[in-house]
Amino acid sequence: MPEPIPTAILLPDGTLAPTPYTAHSLAEVAAHEPQGVYTVARTFHHDRALLLDAHLDRMEKSARLVGIPLKLNRAKLRAALRTLIHRAGYPESRFRITVPRDAPDRVYLAVEPLHPVPERIMREGAHVITVPLTRPNPVAKTTDWVKKRQPAYEQLPPDVYEGILVDAEGFLREGMSSNFYGVLEGTLHTAGEGVLEGITRRAVLEIAPQVLPVEMSPIHKRDVPRLSEAMLTSSSRGVVPITRIDGQPVSDGRVGPVVRRLRQLYDAWTEAHAEPI
């Protein structure tokens, strides 16, 4: 079994206290942490991050939406996160920040080694399936959702990379832990509301108009056979091509030029915008 990953609680005075549990991954951490709001992101060049303040803004917004009084001390939080990342010593990390509902002045931190998206998936594309599941409060990133989606994740077939949430009207809203996009008739479509405001999504929406028009409307399930390309994004994974949906190839079943170009532009954007934690 691998060594436990670094975890800690940031106290109001800026010191780090041990957590009452040990864990070997962020998934295990999520099972132990108290109910609240959270965010997950990755590092670049060991101790740099992308749009960290946007992550923290979203945490504070999520907290307001579910009635948690939260104003993060960002200087202390950044310092604690740097300490934990340096203590871990991983070349690149994935980190989790959680604020408990019942003790919002204590911030739970955890760091695990970053495992990039398998090269085969980046080269050949991911297989996703649609899932009749809805996020109760889609604009709030809460630990409740992590627990609700877990049974659906456990039921995904071995060759399926992600589940895409489909609402009652048949629209593909978002992934269980990602944002979803489809290229239809030369336009990039993604849901404009009723989904989590992903941080990587923010960057993609800034970049994408250089490549093709963008429409903030979701793809309907009936239009999946008409898609020329599809992709998902998340802070840990970046831009991931999708080449099969519910077993059906997207277009010719190969990664297309639009997604390939968006991935290149996003990678360049991260190099330009990653900042010291």
Q: Could you tell me the CA-to-CA distances from 159 to 12, 128, 224, 274 in Å, in that order?
A: 44, 9, 19, 32
pTM for this prediction: 0.93
Alpha-carbon gap, residue 68 to 36, rounded angstroms: 8
Q: Domains of the chain, with CATH numbers? A: 7-113 (3.30.470.10), 119-275 (3.20.10.10)
Model confidence at 259, in pLDDT bands (50, 70, 90)?
very high
Model pLDDT, residue 2? 78
| 54 exposure class (CB count in 10 Å sphere: 0-12, 13-18, 19+) | middle
| Confidence label for 253 from pLDDT (cuts 50, 70 and 90) | very high
Bridge partners (DSSP) of residue 28 are: none
Would the pLDDT of 268 be above 70?
yes
Structure confidence by residue, pLDDT tens digits, 139-156 = 889 888 888 888 888 889
Question: What's the rounded Cα separation, in Å, for the pair 25 and 255?
Answer: 31
Predicted local distance difference test score (pLDDT) of residue 133: 83
Residue 74 in 3-state DSSP? helix
Residue 194: pLDDT band (50, 70, 90) is confident
Query: CB of 240 within 8 A of CB of 233?
Result: yes
Residue 7 has pLDDT above 90, yes or no: yes
